[in-house]
Structure 1
Amino acid sequence: MSQYYALGDRTLWNPSNGASRLFTRQVSLYEAELGLPSGIGPMRADECRIEPLVFSGFVDALLAWHGATRHAVVVSLSEGFVATVLVLADRAGVQVTWPPTASAETWAGALQQKSRELGRCMAV
């Protein structure tokens, strides 16, 4: 059994129920942490709709938050979620805004590499 994350009639991701359950719980956590809606709708009948404009704002805020943290544990805990969101943003055609930080090139490059590797594993 699996679930679908969709933008219009296009499937962006088709994870197992377990992976989807973990991801949607993390979505709720980061919505609360950022004080913003994610644009990732509720799971209904094994399908979740993504609202691209709201999602775009969430992705940018998430990247800014992640780039500003210097706490090694927070970085480690959030890295997988951020990479997963970047894969969805790429598949949705959402343009992301990388925040200017002292280590932006290294930081952004590492996250982009991680999201590329993860994207190969994320079923469509």
Structure 2
Amino acid sequence: MSYTFDVGDDTLWGPVNSVARIFLGTVKTLADEYRLPSGVGDDLMGMVEIDPVEFAGFVQRILAERASSLHPYKDMLLDGVLPILIALADRGRMGVTGRTPEENAYLEEVRARKLPMLAPGD
């Protein structure tokens, strides 16, 4: 079994259930911590709709937090989810960009990994 993370009719990602639940919990925690909408909709029986405008803003904010962080544990925690957020935003062509040299360096590093975001049928 797997989840689907969709923008409209396009499926961006289809992780297994456990990965999806961990991801959703982490996104909710970050949205609560930074008091901003994530753009990640509710889990509707394994289908999650992403609002591309809200999601792009969310990813930009988390990227900014990571790039300006001086706390090693915060860095490690954000490094667990931020590459997935960036890969989803890239796959959905949401236009996440670096606004500082630190953000650009982080994006370059993540994008160089070419993290596969396989959707069902890929």
Query: Same fold per TM (> 0.5)?
Result: yes
Aligned-partner Cα distance in 2 for 1:31–1:104 = 19
RMSD: 1.4
List runs of 5+ in structure 1 lacking aligned partners.
Answer: none
Decide whether the 8 Å contact of 2:42 with 2:49 is kept in 1. Answer: yes
List runs of 5+ in structure 2 lacking aligned partners.
Answer: none
Secondary structure in 2 matching 1:97: coil
Aligned-partner Cα distance in 2 for 1:107–1:97 = 10
Identity across the alignment (%) = 31
Deviation at 1:108, TM superposition (A): 3.1
Secondary structure in 2 matching 1:87: helix
Q: TM-score of the superposition, structure 2-length normalised? A: 0.89
Residue 106 of structure 2 corresponds to 107
Decide whether the 8 Å contact of 1:67 with 1:99 is kept in 2. Answer: no
Tell me the amino acid that sits aligned with residue 28 of structure 1.
Answer: K
Q: Note the alpha carbon deviations across 1:6-49, whole angstroms, 9 max, x for none.
A: 00001000010000000000011110122101000011021000
Q: Figure out how many residues of one structure are paired with residues of the other and give that number.
A: 119
Q: Note the alpha carbon deviations across 1:76-110, whole angstroms, 9 max, x for none.
A: 12112000001100111100131314x44543322
Q: TM-score of the superposition, structure 1-length normalised? A: 0.88
Residue 123 of structure 1 corresponds to 118
